[in-house]
């Protein structure tokens, strides 16, 4: 619940979200989405929701990125937009 910390992380989140959607290399997009999840995890730890932050660190930044990479490995790596 420190507003300066909150402010900086929230400002970081928007470019990271846009980059995750704009990258043409899907593998890179999945990794940037992992970074996005990790920033979210920091944000929730800062706001006092430690359980949510823990879950997001395990699930969002870890397992869901692995699932996406597994799918990209079995389909196509490049996207048209």
Partner 1 sequence: MEEFIQSRFNYWIYVILMMIGLWGMISKNNLIKKLIGMSIFQTAIILFYVSVAVKSETANIPILPHHGHDYSPKIAFAHAVSDDHENGGHDDHAGHQAHPVGPKIPDPDGYANPLPHVLMLTAIVVGVATLGLALAITQKIYREYGTLEEDQLLEKVRADDHG
Partner 2 sequence: MKKLAGIVVFTVGLILLYGVSSLDDFPSWGTPDSPANKSPLSQYFIKNTIVDTEVPNMVTAVLADYRGYDTMFETVVIFVAGLGIFAVVRVFEHGGASRVVTADTKPDIIITNTCRLLIPLIQLFALYVLAHGHSSPGGGFQGGVIMGASFILVALAWDLDIALKRFSEKQAFICSGIGILIYAGFGLASVFLGEEFLNYGIIHKILPGVDSPEMARYYAMLGVEIGVMFTVTSIMFLIYGLLATRGKMTAGL
Which residue in 51, 76, 78, 80 binds partner 2 (CB under 8 A)?
A: 51
Q: For CA atoms 66, 71, 75, 81, give the dihedral sign.
A: negative
Tell me: does residue 7 bind partner 2 (CB under 8 A): no
Does 26 participate in binding partner 1 (rule CB under 8 A)? yes
Contact between 10 and partner 2 by CB under 8 A: the answer reads no
Toward partner 2, which CB reaches closer, 1 or 11?
Answer: 1
CB of 36 to partner 1, least distance (A): 7
């Amino acid at each position: 619940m420190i507003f300066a910390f909150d402010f900086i992380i929230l400002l970081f989140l928007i470019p990271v979200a846009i980059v995750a959607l704009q990258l043409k290399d899907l593998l890179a997009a999945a990794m940037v989405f992992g970074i996005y999840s990790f920033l979210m995890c920091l944000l929730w730890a800062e706001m006092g929701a430690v359980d949510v932050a823990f879950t997001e660190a395990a699930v969002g930044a870890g397992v869901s990125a692995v699932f996406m990479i597994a799918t990209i490995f079995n389909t196509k790596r490049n996207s048209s937009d």
